[in-house]
Amino acid sequence: MKVIFYILIFCLFLISCNDDEEKIIPSLVGKWEVVDSYFYTNSNQGICFSIGDSLYMGLGIPFSSSYSSPNELRRYTKTSYGEAMKDFPGKPRIGAVAFTIKDKAYIGLGKSITDEKEYYKDFWVYDATSNSWDSLTFEFPGDAVVDAVAFSLNGMGYVGTGLKANGLYSGEFYQFDPQYGWGGKANMVLPKAGATTFQLNGTVYLCFGHSSYEDCRDVYRFDPKEFRFIPLNSLLPDKYPGITRSYASSFVLTVDGQEYAYIVGGELGLDAAPPYWYCCRYNYLTDEWEEAPPMPRTHPYVTTFTKDNAGYVIFNDIAYKFVY
For residue 154, how many other CB atoms are within 10 A of its CB?
8
Quick one: pLDDT at residue 272? 43
Let me know: does 319 contact 298? Beta carbons within 8 Å. Answer: no
As a whole number of angstroms, the distance between CA 107 and CA 122 comes to 8
As a whole number of angstroms, the distance between CA 93 and CA 120 comes to 8
Residue 48's nearest CA partner among 24, 27, 76, 10 is 76
Let me know: does 163 contact 170? Beta carbons within 8 Å. Answer: yes
What lies within 8 Å, CB to CB, of 302 at 6+ separation is 249, 264, 265, 313, 314, 315
Ranges in the chain, pLDDT < 50: 1-26, 237, 239, 270-275
Considering just the CA atoms, what is the radius of gyration of the chain in Å?
Answer: 19
| Superfamily covering domain 27-323 | Kelch-type beta propeller (2.120.10.80)
Quick one: pLDDT at residue 279? 84
Paired residues of 285 in beta bridges? none
Q: Running DSSP on this structure, what letter comes out for residue 222?
A: E
As a whole number of angstroms, the distance between CA 316 and CA 37 comes to 9
Q: Which pLDDT tens digit goes with each residue over 88-119?
A: 999 999 999 999 999 999 999 999 998 989 99
**What is the pTM (predicted TM-score) of this model?**
0.85
Q: Name the amino acid, one letter, at 144.
A: A
Nearest-10 Cα torsion for 224, 225, 229, 232: -100
As a whole number of angstroms, the distance between CA 54 and CA 38 comes to 15
As a whole number of angstroms, the distance between CA 34 and CA 178 comes to 39
Quick one: pLDDT at residue 122? 97
As a whole number of angstroms, the distance between CA 288 and CA 285 comes to 8
Quick one: pLDDT at residue 81? 75
